[in-house]
Structure 1
């Protein structure tokens, strides 16, 4: 666990440094955000996917977008319910099913030269103690991480870039938020607690994978 303890504060410090040193006129960051669906609404996850251990029947979402603040946060689009996503995946003893919504965003949000894949859903059947990160790895490879364990790509998208800052003029148009009023991440620093939790969760998961591989 020593590597995990070291990874989290390093990530937080790096984020604060990036926020203070960003170029003038920056409007946000291009990254994958993590959401949970409860009561028919998407809410920004308070913890990273490596910390969340969803129950059988949970619905989780990931959205690729440029986000500047809570009013601008983009949720996974469309409706999603467990019964529809996991209709063809029967329950099994010792396993659970997690419905995942993967929203690759819009063309204005995409890195230069890339086209976002169509939004899709997947039902991950994973061990009962699995995290959301485990469920994502089961159905959306290849995943890409940077050297600080930041989740950069899901199902190979985007091919390049990782949490880069986007200046005025490079941001998506329309401020599309998915049409719901749930509170999103506060990125007024511009990185908020939700994004820190996502990055820290990825760091913990990556550190555990490295530890398991060396053991």
Structure 2
């Protein structure tokens, strides 16, 4: 009986896992990206220390993410030739194409609405940082402790990298089945049921012997 109870407890745990959505704590913040060709890569430096070259494309995206591994990339196609097409070169200065994606309403702080995504071509000194390029085209900027970028063009009005509990974690399974539990979990549950039935049969057989 004890063994059967343990098996049934395992079964209950499996079934609970199939029906309980995965939730985690995320953070609402501006992520910073470098673009090479058609690919966005999470920047290895902050905008206050990164020094882009003439012709570079960089992006910012406001969203709720757990960490850099699942941060949301800027949307839309971005190319230096398109963004800076109507910005002439200037002696001793550089042009940096910036993609500023204010995110979706789902990621916006309560009571705020994200502005429309925009592109801008910043013309700055050769040794200017990304933060200086951003300030040239998207003021006002707001920073928190440790030079953390909190707001671009005044968005959001408040908050800076705050935790957002109950953020739904993206599914990592390769395949879903009509939004229900995976076949593997159901197979595991079936196996537990079979073991429980076998244990019950053996217990009755010993009792009747």
Query: What's the TM-score bracket when you normalise by the shorter of the two chains?
Result: 0.5 to 0.7
Q: Which has the higher contact order (CA 8 A, sep 6+)?
A: 1
- In the TM superposition, residue 148 of structure 1 has moved relative to its aligned partner by 4.4
C-alpha distance after superposition, 1:163-213 (max 9, x if no partner): 000000xx37978xxxxxxxxxxxxxxxxxxxxxxxxxxxxxxxxxxxxxx
C-alpha distance after superposition, 1:101-146 (max 9, x if no partner): 0000000000000000010000000001111111001100000122
Selected match of 2:96 from 95, 98, 103:
98
Selected match of 2:33 from 21, 35, 55:
35
TM-score by length of 2: 0.67
SS of aligned partner of 1:166: strand
Match runs of 1:156-167 below 5 Å: 156-167=154-165
- In the TM superposition, residue 71 of structure 1 has moved relative to its aligned partner by 5.1
Could you tell me which residue of structure 1 aligns to residue 57 of structure 2? 59
Structure 2: which 5+ runs fail to align? 1-22, 172-209
The root-mean-square deviation of aligned C-alpha atoms, in Å, is 1.8
Structure 1: which 5+ runs fail to align? 1-24, 176-215
- Paired with 1:39 and 1:69, the residues of 2 have a C-alpha distance of 24
TM-score by length of 1: 0.65
- In the TM superposition, residue 39 of structure 1 has moved relative to its aligned partner by 2.2
Could you tell me which residue of structure 2 aligns to residue 155 of structure 1? 153
Which has the larger Rg? 2
- Paired with 1:43 and 1:84, the residues of 2 have a C-alpha distance of 20
Q: Is the 8 A contact 1:66 1:172 kept in 2?
A: no
Could you tell me which residue of structure 1 aligns to residue 121 of structure 2? 123
- Paired with 1:49 and 1:145, the residues of 2 have a C-alpha distance of 11
1:87/1:156 CA distance change after superposition, 3 Å: same
- Paired with 2:82 and 2:168, the residues of 1 have a C-alpha distance of 31
